[in-house]
Amino acid sequence: MAEQGVAQVWRRIRSIYNIQGNKCETCETYYFPPRPVCPTCRRKGKLEMYQFKGLGAIYSYAIVRQAPDDFKRQIPYVIAQVELDEGTRLTAQIVNVDPENVEIGMRVRSCFRKIKEFGPGGVIVYGYKFEPTMKVTGHEE
Ligand code: ZN
């Protein structure tokens, strides 16, 4: 029972790491995270696994200036809704850019970063984050 739980967690982590979702072949809609049933087509839907390319644009964002202890070292940081080129949105941290230079519509690509480490020498969880596809040059001061 416990082992089954661990396997499920790892399956979930793998799906997040790879930005794996699915695509309904019937209505050509992409989903992330993967859905068990297409909400539009229901039983007529034909869902296939789909590996997202990890390219998209910032749809909306917020600069986080207060965070729980685990994330304090990173503040301020940017959490954005990224609209993937396939047309679905997901929430992710935006890295490798000064928060002040983040803009709606900015092109981003997924990159993998360590998100959390559990204890010294413990389990490290990796996940997707996004970074600008072009180098962003800040304003001169
Ligand atoms: Zn569908």
**Mean model confidence pLDDT for the chain:** 83
Confidence (pTM): 0.73
Ligand 1 centre to CA of 65 (Å) is: 39
Q: Which residues contact 102 (CB under 8 A, 6 or more apart)?
A: 58, 61, 63, 78, 80, 94
SS3 state at 72: helix
Q: Looking at this protein, which amino acid is placed at residue 133? A: T
Ligand 1 centre to CA of 28 (Å) is: 6
Instruction: Pick the range with the lowest mean pLDDT from 31-35, 41-45, 85-89, 97-101.
Output: 31-35
Ligand 1 centre to CA of 17 (Å) is: 25
Higher pLDDT, 64 or 126: 64
Between CA 61 and CA 103 the distance in angstroms is 8
Ligand 1 centre to CA of 32 (Å) is: 13
Ligand 1 centre to CA of 61 (Å) is: 29
Q: Is 13 exposed, middle or buried (0-12, 13-18, 19+ CB in 10 A)?
A: middle
Name the nearest CA neighbour of 89 among 71, 67, 104, 69.
104
Taking 70 as the threshold, does the pLDDT of residue 137 lie above it? no
